[in-house]
Amino acid sequence: MSLYLRRALEQAYLQNLKNREIQTIAVSHNNQAEIRNDFNILCEKKGISNPIRIQLTPEDYFAPLSPILYLINELLFRHNIELTQVSRLLKLGKYESNMLNSMLQNHFDIKEYYMPSDLEYIKLRIRKHIQTLLHHLLSGPDPIPVCICNLQYAGPSSIKFLIDILKTNTGDSTYIYSIREQSLNEMQKKAIKLREDQRRRRSLNIFSAYNNEDDDEQELLNTPNCILLLGFNSENLLNATTPAKWLEMEGEIERFFALIRPSDPDYRGNSTDNQWPKLKYQAKPILTFEDAVERCGILFNYLCYDEVIEIANSLIQEIRFSKDKKFKNEELIYHLLGRARLYKHEYEDALIAFDLMYEKAQYNNNTDDACNSYIELAYTHIFRSDFESVLHFAEMAAHLGEISMNMRLVVISNFCLFVAYDRAGIKYGYHNICTLIDNLEKYDLIKEEVYVLRNIFAQVSFDPQNLNMNIALEMCNKAITLANRAGIKHEIAAANHCKGVVLFNLGRYPDALHAYRLSEDQYYQIEVPVELTHVYNSIGFVLNETEDYPKAHEYYMKALRNSINLNDYSEITITIYNISQLYMLSGLFKEALSTLDILQEILSILKTTRLPFHNIHHIYLSKALVYTYLDKINLAEQMLRRSANISNDIPLIGSELFLYNLIQTIVHVKNKQKQQALDLFAQIRNFQKLGTLTPKENILFYMTALKIFSEYKDYESRFKYLKEGYSYAIKNQLFNSQKLIINCWKLNFKPYEGYSVIEVPMNELNQIIQLVRQEHKVNTLWKQVHEMRLISMLHNFSLSVDSYNQLAAETLRLLSSHFNINGGMIYFVSQENRTSSLIQEFNSSKIQPNFSFKKIEKFINSHITKEFTELTDITIGPDKVHRVMIFPLVDRTEVFGQMLLFSFDKALRSNYEEEHDSITMISQQLSSQLTMILQRNELIKVSTTDMLTGLYNRMEFNRIITKLIADLPADRNISLGFIDLDNFKYYNDNLGHEIGDKLLVWFADLLNSLKGPNDIVCRWGGDEFLFLMKDCDADEAEQRMTVVLNSLKKKLGYKKEIEEFLHTTVNNLPERYYLSCSIGVMDSNSLPKPFTESDLLTSADAALYEVKRTGKGKVLNFRNMTHEADGMIMESNR
């Protein structure tokens, strides 16, 4: 036994007797048998009869949360607690209970969709509940020795989880034995424990208002009493765990636990291996493809995303190298891989996985999975804060959901649309919101319903006729009640945050701040950093409006640093905008301009004109206002012109219009345009009386009024606005604004001078541009990779389809889902005739769903050209179209078709230049693919058809009939008519071979007109034809061939057609030489089984020979031939 390890174990045991807490020791050694021996000796020495021994094997690498789950299962067994009782024991609400039960009982379901805040919440709560359960089960008067050896065989997610579960004890009150560090003194430990107890007591009451728990339930114990020995051999790694990866994990273990690395000479004693038996909970080996898929799902359920990715990648490799073998659940594998990548924030890889999922779903004609893949792509872009892409994918998903009649998927798609509209600041519509809420409730999508209810406030400004802040407050309260009923704590916190926003807009600032603080405390307890950023911004905004600028700046900087850590560029932009407004209100005008320049540069890099709740107007107008304070009127006018220039695309509404008119009034005053200034001010005054302005905007109005009427020496109006503005500032407790109004009354044209004590971190703000630029470069590179992926998908698809219609449909669908377009049309064109013929069209627009090729065919025919054409804001017939792009489809230098793409929605503008380059590449690829399919079809036609008549040729007919006979069921029948033209030689000899060729074509047309949908007609050679009839018996076949004969006789030798062709009268065609035919018929039922195509052909040919021998111009069924005829035929053959 190692003296080094023995001393550590002894001290850990003594420390446990003193503190009754978890004592953790980690040992790295290449002989795990020695560690097991040491642990056994310790237990024997201390008289512990029932320790917990866990020996991991390579099979445990892909076991979820091993070894923590093994330990919990063993403890539950010893405490006689069923898995179904765990949720009740932990006193969980409905939502968290279902979540934990599905995990512990391996109920795998991937139908739930999660927002970023949901995911952070789930990760934290699962870890917290398992930790609470483990502490409860380990609590007791006597220590429970636990040894886990061969820890290197656990998966990376499992080891991280193990560390997270145990490391919380290291920095708090729990003492962990360390051989290298001196133990904490008693004073330090008491201080830490006191601080933790205070924080715990403060957070216990955060959700008390929403807690309906029964007080009679058993109290959970939190006094874990355990000696935990972790052993691993870093020289014996599983192949899946690379040395570099294990080194990183070993570093984490050493960081949080006492790590011992005894050398071999330290060991003396028995080194014989005493293997511990496997626990019944330990993982079984993965033997089949189906086992691997099932394990992949279970691992995903336990949040083991690293292991999911490893299994999924290996399964995909197996699929790729087994091209001829069919596998089940291919879409599910890509689905799990994409989700795992997404939840690890590997967004580009997630998008590729979901694209592949869509591709597989398309090939398998699985519309539900195709719809699911688009929903997953929409959610991925929600994580990336790319709401333009969310809109496109959500619309496509809704379209596919309607096709498959899966209304649950349609509802989820519409929810994604709401998220995109909400976060991009676009009107969704009151009636659409009501319908969405009803549907979410119908399909029990509680999380999503709470999200919509609490975010209705953002739609008030877009639909004031149907919505107001009082309705929004009612919806927030409903969201809180619903989230509480379901036990979704992070949604309770989110709903309180939204309630604070609504209360702020109602002018109830103390209530708003209280709601925000409550939300902050709730988020702090459940540790959801994404949402904490939003709350920090909101608290900063209230403090800003109530003029506590230093405190507001502190919260804004918290939000900014948090959003940078999270790479949330949507939140970065709104935070920088809020900071710029704070600097402007604080009189830091140069800093405000610099901050607005930074924000404008970021939006330029991101190639967007929008940020949450604001747009580029707010930046231009804020700059213009600052320039008026700095008396730079020319620059202020320049900003106003920029804002006016984009007002067609982004209308000025609400606060933007107020600010624009206010600044324009100041410019009129400075430019000595008195009447224009007074008229415009009157309009602003009417708007201000509506009571919709924020305190900041109201104070700005009164300050401007004082300046205007001071300029025009209208002292009565000046005093009126002084009195009104000062009363407003007192009523709303805006003490700084009182000073500003007094300064304006005193004609102090620099009212903000010496006003602020804020320290501005400009260096930190400037660094953000570089961070955003780097992120944009990564996104640009990903887009290029994604475009190549699209082209590759279309190329692979073109190789698997025979029809250019299918290729065109898939191209339009992919373009509509990946670019800012609503649909398109692909069609052939004739430049010479100015005509077009549709190949395929696609329209995903809900605005104008009836926009079609038929309606705009005249427009299309008038725009046939070799050049790319782009038109914006045009009217085609009754339809107004925002944008039309026409791409030529060219084979060498000849235009053979065009691809027209259209969009109706100008609300979400993307970078058209980038789109044009990408779509041009795809259109060029489409041109070559269509050309290839057309050429391939032509080659197939040449190789399978008779060039003169267009019928199948002899070789193709042999292939068809051979396959048909091989696949023919025993109860099915086929018949064959063997046709030989009579008097054909006479036509060739007397009217020429050209007429002979025309006769063959006309007769082929006659056969095509008489054949049924399942019949096959072939030119066998010369003047011989075959007529194959499926599901046709001998008598019916004979009747049908008689129809062929009689129809040919009615043509009267095609004399009329010949005369029309020759443009002259034909006198050398006597009636007795009119074209006729002889036909032999044979059916498969008359043949002994099995039979071949040769048997069928020989019999039909024999019947034809008999007709020719006995007078021509007749139909003869083989089974009606006489035995004498049979003998003559046999003699003839000899």
When pLDDT is averaged across residues 447-464 and rounded to a whole number, the result is: 90
Residue 847's domain is classified under what CATH number?
Answer: 3.30.450.40
Question: Does a structural domain hold residue 499?
Answer: no
Q: Are residues 920 and 954 in the same domain?
A: no
Each residue of 880-902: pLDDT tens digit?
888 899 999 988 778 899 999 99
Q: Are residues 955 and 1089 in the same domain?
A: yes
Q: Which residue has the higher pLDDT, 1030 or 107?
A: 1030
Going by pLDDT thresholds of 50, 70 and 90, the confidence category of residue 1124 is very low
Instruction: Single out the residue in 250, 266, 282 at which a domain terminates.
Output: 266
Strand 610-611 to strand 614-615: parallel, antiparallel, or no bridges (unpaired)?
antiparallel
Going by pLDDT thresholds of 50, 70 and 90, the confidence category of residue 735 is confident
| Residue 928 confidence (pLDDT) | 84
How far apart are alpha carbons 67 and 56 in whole angstroms?
Answer: 8
pTM for the full model?
Answer: 0.62
| Residue 215 confidence (pLDDT) | 47
How far apart are alpha carbons 410 and 404 in whole angstroms?
Answer: 10
Q: Are residues 115 and 241 in the same domain?
A: yes
Question: Dihedral, CA atoms, 1093, 1098, 1099, 1100, nearest 10 degrees?
Answer: 90
When pLDDT is averaged across residues 785-800 and rounded to a whole number, the result is: 70
Each residue of 399-433: pLDDT tens digit?
888 888 889 999 999 999 999 888 777 888 889 99
> Which residues face 1029 on adjacent strands?
975
Question: Does a structural domain hold residue 510?
Answer: no
pLDDT averaged over every residue in the chain:
82
Q: Which residue has the higher pLDDT, 99 or 996?
A: 996
Going by pLDDT thresholds of 50, 70 and 90, the confidence category of residue 49 is confident
Each residue of 235-290: pLDDT tens digit?
776 655 566 677 777 777 877 777 887 765 545 545 555 788 888 878 888 888 88
Question: Does a structural domain hold residue 409?
Answer: no
| Residue 203 confidence (pLDDT) | 45
| Residue 714 confidence (pLDDT) | 86
Whether the predicted pLDDT of 208 surpasses 60: no
Whether the predicted pLDDT of 1128 surpasses 80: no
Question: Does a structural domain hold residue 13?
Answer: yes
Whether the predicted pLDDT of 742 surpasses 80: yes
Are 812 and 894 a contacting pair, CB within 8 Å?
A: no
Q: Which residue has the higher pLDDT, 758 or 658?
A: 658
How would you classify residue 892: left for phi > 0, otherwise alpha for psi between -120 and 50, otherwise beta? left
Q: Which of 545-554, 579-588, 746-755, 1020-1029 has the highest mean pLDDT?
A: 1020-1029
Residue 1103's domain is classified under what CATH number?
Answer: 3.30.70.270
Task: Provide the angle, in degrees to the nearest 10, between the axes of the packed helices 912-944 and 804-818.
Answer: 170
Each residue of 984-1033: pLDDT tens digit?
999 988 888 899 999 999 999 999 999 988 899 999 989 999 999 998 88
Q: Are residues 740 and 698 in the same domain?
A: yes
Each residue of 665-682: pLDDT tens digit?
988 988 888 888 898 888
Each residue of 138-179: pLDDT tens digit?
888 888 899 999 888 888 888 888 888 887 543 333 333 333
Q: Are residues 924 and 852 in the same domain?
A: yes
Strand 23-28 to strand 258-260: parallel, antiparallel, or no bridges (unpaired)?
parallel
When pLDDT is averaged across residues 17-31 and rounded to a whole number, the result is: 81
Question: Does a structural domain hold residue 53?
Answer: yes
Q: Are residues 158 and 223 in the same domain?
A: yes
Any idea which of 91-95, 139-143, 702-706, 897-901 has the lowest mean pLDDT? 91-95
Q: Are residues 927 and 980 in the same domain?
A: no
Going by pLDDT thresholds of 50, 70 and 90, the confidence category of residue 200 is very low
Q: Are residues 8 and 70 in the same domain?
A: yes
Q: Are residues 727 and 835 in the same domain?
A: no
Going by pLDDT thresholds of 50, 70 and 90, the confidence category of residue 974 is very high
| Residue 176 confidence (pLDDT) | 30
Mapping DSSP to helix (H, G, I), strand (E, B) and coil, where does residue 8 land?
helix
When pLDDT is averaged across residues 312-322 and rounded to a whole number, the result is: 84
* Domain span holding position 73: 3-204+218-266
Whether the predicted pLDDT of 504 surpasses 90: no
Residues of the chain above pLDDT 70, percent: 88
Question: Does a structural domain hold residue 875?
Answer: yes
Q: Are residues 936 and 960 in the same domain?
A: no
When pLDDT is averaged across residues 946-964 and rounded to a whole number, the result is: 90
| Residue 752 confidence (pLDDT) | 59
| Residue 789 confidence (pLDDT) | 67
Whether the predicted pLDDT of 1079 surpasses 90: yes
When pLDDT is averaged across residues 608-630 and rounded to a whole number, the result is: 85
| Residue 191 confidence (pLDDT) | 52
Residue 170: C-alpha distances to residues 254, 354, 376, 887, 891 (Å) = 12, 41, 39, 64, 71
Q: Which residues contact 104 (CB under 8 A, 6 or more apart)?
A: 83, 86
Residue 671's domain is classified under what CATH number?
Answer: 1.25.40
Cα 361 to chain center, whole Å? 15
Q: Are residues 994 and 887 in the same domain?
A: no
Question: Does a structural domain hold residue 1076?
Answer: yes
| Residue 911 confidence (pLDDT) | 54
Instruction: Single out the residue in 909, 943, 977 at which a domain terminates.
Output: 943
| Residue 1025 confidence (pLDDT) | 95
Q: Are residues 886 and 1020 in the same domain?
A: no
Length of the chain: 1134
Are 1114 and 1107 a contacting pair, CB within 8 Å?
A: yes
| Residue 750 confidence (pLDDT) | 59
Instruction: Single out the residue in 915, 943, 971 at which a domain terminates.
Output: 943
Domains held by the chain: number: 4
Whether the predicted pLDDT of 867 surpasses 80: yes
Question: Does a structural domain hold residue 877?
Answer: yes
